[in-house]
């Protein structure tokens, strides 16, 4: 693995943390003060979602296929931001990232799109943005980790309650959690309370990450054949393995053979 660049971060939480970028086998990855990969880009195809957990997070399109505004907390190398910008062309994207060095790395080395009416990266506190934007987005994606763990301020009971309020009535919260995190069950219960139990879990293809979907309003019972048909159409339009997502959801919800109840 070749270390491509280092950016010295200036954060009050971890003032000595270093943003590092490495390359190996045609892949460029971003790290935050450890060997843990925060984001990966295929250099030959910057839009591809290389990491399976990012693809699983896009499973929200099964339930909200035409979002108008997608907000994201945590930029990393901008994989999700780039993908939504290019593959969901009717949606505007707002990303909130508190580390200016992460933003600098994403812009210089990860093909981040330039600012436009449809694409904005804000340097700031994600919790503050959520608190100050009630009914502010259709989809809120939270993928906020430092080098070791989930950022605590974006996993509290109060934060998840404010996240629910930041969504439009038919909005969806999407959270990336590590199943091996000893706080996984605690975080999941907090999300369930904030969304009155309207929550689905979608394990990523690579074991370890789980995409959590919280629905501000119940989308109602969805019959499995209808969901499979929707997945097939999305796979053609967006290019991800949506039929596999449906089968994983089916495995996680075995109590009803005919429909998925949220």
Q: Which segments of 132-259 does DSSP mark as H helices, in order? A: 157-165, 184-194, 224-238, 242-252
Identify the pLDDT of residue 4. 63
Give the up-direction half-sphere exposure of residue 34: CA atoms within 13 A in the CB hemisphere: 9
pLDDT along the chain (262 residues), means of 10: 58 59 96 88 98 97 97 97 97 96 96 97 97 97 80 94 97 95 95 97 91 92 92 96 96 82 74
Q: Rounded to an integer, what is the distance from CA 152 to the centroid of its chain?
A: 16
Identify the pLDDT of residue 7. 62
pTM of the prediction?
Answer: 0.92
In the 8-state DSSP scheme, what is residue 215? Answer: E
Cα 236 to Cα 252: distance, rounded to the nearest angstrom: 25
Cα 102 to Cα 203: distance, rounded to the nearest angstrom: 27
Number of domains in the chain: 1
Q: Give the active site residues.
A: 143
Identify the pLDDT of residue 133. 97
Task: Label residue 243 exposed, middle or buried (CB < 10 Å: 0-12, 13-18, 19+).
Answer: middle
Cα four-point dihedral sign 142, 176, 101, 106: negative
In the numeric block, which tokens belong to residue 250?
């089916």
Identify the pLDDT of residue 158. 97
Identify the pLDDT of residue 65. 95
Helix (H, G, I), strand (E, B) or coil at 218: coil
Identify the pLDDT of residue 141. 98
Helix (H, G, I), strand (E, B) or coil at 219: coil
In the numeric block, which tokens belong to residue 14?
């971890």
Q: Which of 1, 68, 54 is nearest to 28 (CA)?
A: 1
CATH code: domain of residue 94: 3.40.50.150
Cα 203 to Cα 216: distance, rounded to the nearest angstrom: 21
Identify the pLDDT of residue 58. 98
Q: What is the span of the domain harbouring residue 105?
A: 2-260
Identify the pLDDT of residue 15. 39
Q: Which of 194, 189, 123, 185 is nearest to 159 (CA)?
A: 194
């Amino acid at each position: 693995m070749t270390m491509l660049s280092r950016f010295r971060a200036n954060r009050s939480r971890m003032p000595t943390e270093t943003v590092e970028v490495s390359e190996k086998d045609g892949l460029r990855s971003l790290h935050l003060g450890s060997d843990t990969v925060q984001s990966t880009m295929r250099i030959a195809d910057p839009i591809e979602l290389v990491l399976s957990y990012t693809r699983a997070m896009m499973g929200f399109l099964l339930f909200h296929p035409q979002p108008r505004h997608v907000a994201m907390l945590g930029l990393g190398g901008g994989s999700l931001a780039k993908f939504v910008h290019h593959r969901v062309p009717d949606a505007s994207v707002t990303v909130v990232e508190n580390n200016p060095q992460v933003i600098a790395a994403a812009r210089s080395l990860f093909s981040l799109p330039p600012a436009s009416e449809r694409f904005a990266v804000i340097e700031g506190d994600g919790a503050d943005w959520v608190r100050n934007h009630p009914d502010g987005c259709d989809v809120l994606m939270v993928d906020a980790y430092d080098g070791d763990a989930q950022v605590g301020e974006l996993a509290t009971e109060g934060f998840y309650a404010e996240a629910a309020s930041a969504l439009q009535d038919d909005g969806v919260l999407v959270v990336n959690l590590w199943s091996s995190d000893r706080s996984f069950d605690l975080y999941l219960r907090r999300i369930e309370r904030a969304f009155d139990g309207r929550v689905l879990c979608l394990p990523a293809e690579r074991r370890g990450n789980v995409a959590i979907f919280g629905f501000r309003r119940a989308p109602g019972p969805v019959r499995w054949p209808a969901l499979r048909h929707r997945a097939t159409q999305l796979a053609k339009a967006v290019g991800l393995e949506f039929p596999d997502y449906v089968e994983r959801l089916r495995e996680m919800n075995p109590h009803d053979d005919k429909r998925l109840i949220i």
